Amino acid sequence: MKVLIMAGGRGSRIGDPSKPLIKILGKPMIEYVIDAINGLGEVNIATTKDHERIIQWARSNNYTIVLTSGRDYPNDLIEALRLTGTPTLVLPSDMPLLSKEFITKFLRAVAHIRTPMVTLAAVRGCEIEYTGISYIRDLTMSNGVIPWSTLTTAWTMELININTREDLEEATKLIQRRTQQPIR
Euclidean distance between CA atoms 55 and 33, whole angstroms: 17
Positive or negative CA dihedral for 75, 63, 89, 27? negative
Delineate the domains of the chain, giving CATH numbers in brackets: 2-177 (3.90.550.10)
Condensed to tens digits (0 to 9), the pLDDT of residues 33-48 reads 999 999 899 999 999 9
Condensed to tens digits (0 to 9), the pLDDT of residues 140-150 reads 889 888 999 99
- Chain centroid to Cα 3, Å, comes to 9
Condensed to tens digits (0 to 9), the pLDDT of residues 67-85 reads 999 899 889 999 999 999 9
Euclidean distance between CA atoms 50 and 56, whole angstroms: 11
